[in-house]
Amino acid sequence: MACYNNEKMNALIDECMKKETPRDICRFWHFKDDSIRVFDKDEMKEQFIRYKNLGIIKIEDFNNMMIKRNGRKFYVLVVQNQNMEKNPNCPMSMLGYGLMVSGYPYWFNTKKDRDNAVKIFKE
């Protein structure tokens, strides 16, 4: 894993957001590649159906919140393994958004898209 500080992480997030298309609805830290990725609605739906079918993943409502970054609102959803020891700390969340959380956070542009992801998972 690369070494990041607040400045480097914020630069990565800003660069990612500049490259996003109108179809992109959320961003997340891709632990395997040590990078930021984005999803459009179809990709998000596929991912959350995959999570649902694993049967070992949970979404706790108290982790679903709104956080402001540079005056812009983001709606976070945190996916966690039921075995909490298997949840990594997310460097993007901690350094870029000021949220210390273990698991796999997804940063949505709108509350509606975030809530839709929760709905797909819980159906």
Q: Tens digits of per-residue pLDDT, 16-32? A: 999 999 999 999 999 99
- CA 108 from chain centre, in angstroms, equals 7
- CA 42 from chain centre, in angstroms, equals 16
Specify the pLDDT at position 1. 56
pLDDT band at 5 (very low <50, low <70, confident <90, very high): confident
Model-wide pTM > 0.95: no
CA separation for the pair 122, 109 (Å, rounded): 21
Specify the pLDDT at position 108. 97
Give percent helix, percent strand, percent coil of the chain, each to the nearest 5.
45, 30, 25
Specify the pLDDT at position 31. 93
